[in-house]
Structure 1
Amino acid sequence: MQDTLPEPNTPLRVVFFVGRLTVGGAERVTSTLLTNLNRRNFAPELALVRDRIEYDLPPDVRVRCLEREHGLWPVAKTVQTIGWLRRWLAADPPDVVVSMFSHYNLPTGSAIASSRQNVAWIARVANSPTKIEAGPHALWARMVYPSARCIIANSAGLADGFRQHHRSPAWPVLHVPNPLDLEYVHRSAAEEPKFSLPASPIVVAAGRLAPQKRYDVMLQAFGRISSHTGAHLVILGDGPQRTALKKLITKLGLSDRVTLAGFHNNPHPIIARASLFLLTSDYEGSPNALLEAQALGIPAVSTQCPFGPDEIIDDGTTGYLAACGDADAIADGALRVLTAPDGGRAMGSSARERISARFGLATTLPAWERTLHQAATGSQSSPLT
């Protein structure tokens, strides 16, 4: 494996395209790359659909923004995005464009193909393709993705799942993990929480209140967890299921044991004070919240959903894995952690070491930089060995 990249005469211009730079998995990865890429080799830029930036950006990062019209139908929004991308690519083509979110991969590939510019395109996928690229989108994807210099998946399972879903084993699909800025995570965790936490053991979950996350299963499991331990569940995030979940919490008699804490720009102080992290999703890509919890030394219980948790958690050593939808198995794992505090602390210590070695910037940033360099120079060999 090559340890250092040959320095180009001028840094390679790399544009990262994401809808907006607010809190979310793709957005966190984008912010980390914009901040940490080696400036001798790369000149990173940012392209947005909406001018919403909630991360501190280095002053040398150039920002472009579409500010798409409100009220357009989805097809019209897509057409507008493709046209905007095509125009600025024709006017000022960079060396590489990285679409950071599945929702924008196909418009980006279509715009680059129709711009007729010699721009390398990298498409990043971070969620189950059977959920994101189904029906007409699957047909569009199979037309557009072959023009990508490579496709990045943030877990090995997702890379395999992507190939199988699109029935295209020859496509250059690479597993490049999310870069995790451990210094940032620990620094932000040292801040004070924005609200008072209960004195009882805290179980924390974080993510959009949406069907994918299966909070209904989590609450069913937590009813049993709480009755045996007196623990309190704090759920960080907001979304369309908030009202339904409040009703379910009341129905299950958990109103004094569960807090829907809403969205927090910085969830790390709350996660860092927890005894356990829970994830009950039916599908993922490589969940950043789980990564960050383990990086902070918090043992975790997660569903072994496609894809990612089984590559983050070492089952029985840094946490436990359970079948999707199995509230009893989730509760069993949580009770094993919460009723054996010394074992939980040992799991947390092992988790911190594992995440640092596998997902810290020292490991993941070179893999990203090799991929960007190979895309710009036309190489399609894997950046990982």
Structure 2
Amino acid sequence: MSRPIPLLIVSTTLDCGGAERFASTLLANIDRDRLQPELVLFRNKLGYAMPADVSLHTLGHRRVWNTARTVARLRQLIRRQQPAIILSNIAATNVVTGMALCGIHARPRWVARVGNSPRLHDSFLKSWGANIVYPMADRIVGNSVGLTDELRTRFSPLAQRMTTLPNPTDLKALALQSTCADSLRPRMEGPLLIAVGRLCQQKRYDLMLEAFARVRSQVSAELWICGDGPLRRQLERQIRHLKLTSSVRLLGLRRNPHALMKQADLFLMSSDHEGSPNALIEAQVLGIPAVTTKCPHGPEEIVIHRTTGFLTPVGNADAFANAVLRALKTKELLSHTSAYEQVRRRFDANRVVRQWEDLLCQQVMTTRSEPSDFHSVSQVQSP
């Protein structure tokens, strides 16, 4: 039997977040006979589970001005560990990994996973860096078809190197977590609505609260929001202004939101942008109907409109409220058990992780023409 291929996975942390969840799920399910993974973290923060057999390396990254030091440390680590292939999981790690690989002779293969629209890059370094380092990547993987299409448009000379693989969901772990006891119970009779995600502008909780106020004028519903972030105080003020203090609960970061999600009648997501939202996938896997904006990207590839939920226009509180009311007043979304099973099959980690294994192994086994270091996208011709 051949030896497993050494794989280095690079992540900012293994704490809360979609890219971090992806790394944790991949590490837990990857076939050790095919790939032997090691994990590199910018910062030593472990919220998600990490298998005991995985070697952990930390780079001590703190602020953006530490980036040069982080790049140097990662380059040194790559030279020492000599992985056959590297997988970086988000824009920040993609940029640092690409810079670290520059100058390494006979460098390992590199797969860059992109989990969100490049339009959302929140720093010059990410935006500029993506244009510089992505031509060095052997494969660029989007987590939804819509996102990959956007990447092909944005980085058109690299289009042939791009593919799509969805976020893997560990169905057994999710089912177990959803059955864990939780002491939190609704305050009132009536339907329970739930949302899960960081309290930031992208998620548009302001629109969700505005829509929920209209729902509350007709239905005695309760809304739970799991997550924390920079907009918490602003949302607390809006909740008071809309007189929703008795019906909306900001629950903060929950290590296991799935036990709470399982209690809910409806899952809500009001984002302006996404990549492929894990919380929405998990709600659908648990058989919870959803009302979500049809934002770029992901929701329309997850929710089957009028079957497992409703898709509404981005930024339209009236349409969002009307969809919530329709979902609550009819049982039609609960009857399509085969449709929810279709969602489970598509995102099942047993299937998706095998696809990741195939892609990673294929990159190592195939011959490539060595890309040049540090050429901008505009200078690169498709391979």
TM (normalized to structure 1)? 0.91
Shift of 1:64: 0.6
Whether 2:98 is the aligned partner of 1:105: answer no
Q: How far apart, in 2, do the equivalents of 1:292 and 1:61 lie?
A: 26
Whether 2:18 is the aligned partner of 1:29: answer no
Match of 1:330 in 2: 320
Shift of 1:67: 2.0
| Contact 1:146-1:171 at 8 Å conserved across structures | no
List per-residue Cα deviations over 1:66-122 (Å, max 9, x = no partner): 123x4x4x2x22111111111111122111111111111011011012233421111
| Contact 2:197-2:226 at 8 Å conserved across structures | yes
Matches within 5 A, 1:48-87: 48-68=41-61, 70=62, 72=63, 74=64, 76-87=65-76
| Contact 2:91-2:130 at 8 Å conserved across structures | no
1:172 alignment partner, one of 158, 161, 166:
161
The one-letter code of the counterpart of 1:60 is D
Match of 1:158 in 2: 147
Match of 2:373 in 1: none
> What's the secondary structure of 1:228's corresponding residue?
coil
Shift of 1:274: 0.4
Match of 2:341 in 1: 353
| Contact 2:9-2:38 at 8 Å conserved across structures | yes
Whether 2:113 is the aligned partner of 1:120: answer no
Query: Measured at CA, do residues 28 and 311 of structure 1 come closer, stay the same or move farther in structure 2, by a change above 3 Å?
Result: same
Matches within 5 A, 1:247-286: 247-286=237-276
The one-letter code of the counterpart of 2:274 is E
Structure with more relative contact order (C-alpha pairs < 8 Å, separation 6 or more): 2
| Contact 1:177-1:364 at 8 Å conserved across structures | yes
RMSD between aligned residues: 1.7
The one-letter code of the counterpart of 1:303 is T
Q: How far apart, in 1, do the equivalents of 2:126 and 2:114 lie?
A: 14
Query: Measured at CA, do residues 376 and 320 of structure 1 come closer, stay the same or move farther in structure 2, by a change above 3 Å?
Result: same
> What's the secondary structure of 2:335's corresponding residue?
helix
| Contact 1:51-1:65 at 8 Å conserved across structures | yes
Query: Measured at CA, do residues 56 and 184 of structure 1 come closer, stay the same or move farther in structure 2, by a change above 3 Å?
Result: same
Match of 2:214 in 1: 224
**Gap regions ≥5 residues in structure 2:** 369-383
> What's the secondary structure of 1:183's corresponding residue?
helix
List per-residue Cα deviations over 1:159-186 (Å, max 9, x = no partner): 0001112333534111011111111111
| Contact 1:297-1:351 at 8 Å conserved across structures | no
Whether 2:130 is the aligned partner of 1:141: answer yes
Query: Measured at CA, do residues 326 and 333 of structure 1 come closer, stay the same or move farther in structure 2, by a change above 3 Å?
Result: same
Match of 2:280 in 1: 290
The one-letter code of the counterpart of 2:205 is Y
| Contact 1:93-1:117 at 8 Å conserved across structures | no
Matches within 5 A, 1:357-368: 357-368=345-356
Query: Measured at CA, do residues 351 and 190 of structure 1 come closer, stay the same or move farther in structure 2, by a change above 3 Å?
Result: farther
List per-residue Cα deviations over 1:332-377 (Å, max 9, x = no partner): 111111111x323225x34531221211123312211111111222
> What's the secondary structure of 1:115's corresponding residue?
coil
2:175 alignment partner, one of 176, 186, 195:
186
List per-residue Cα deviations over 1:190-225 (Å, max 9, x = no partner): 001252333431100010000000001001110111
The one-letter code of the counterpart of 2:291 is V
Which stretch shifts more, 93-102 or 109-118?
109-118
> What's the secondary structure of 1:301's corresponding residue?
strand
Match of 2:3 in 1: 10
Q: How far apart, in 1, do the equivalents of 2:324 and 2:364 lie?
A: 46
1:47 alignment partner, one of 29, 40, 44:
40
Q: How far apart, in 2, do the equivalents of 1:58 and 1:257 lie?
A: 40
Whether 2:205 is the aligned partner of 1:215: answer yes
| Contact 2:40-2:57 at 8 Å conserved across structures | yes
Match of 2:184 in 1: 195
> What's the secondary structure of 2:150's corresponding residue?
helix
The one-letter code of the counterpart of 1:212 is Q
TM (normalized to structure 2)? 0.92
> What's the secondary structure of 2:98's corresponding residue?
helix
Which stretch shifts more, 350-359 or 105-114?
350-359
List per-residue Cα deviations over 1:125-162 (Å, max 9, x = no partner): 00011112886644432221111110111000000001
Query: Measured at CA, do residues 371 and 216 of structure 1 come closer, stay the same or move farther in structure 2, by a change above 3 Å?
Result: same
Q: How far apart, in 1, do the equivalents of 2:199 and 2:22 lie?
A: 21
Q: Percent identity of the aligned residues?
A: 39
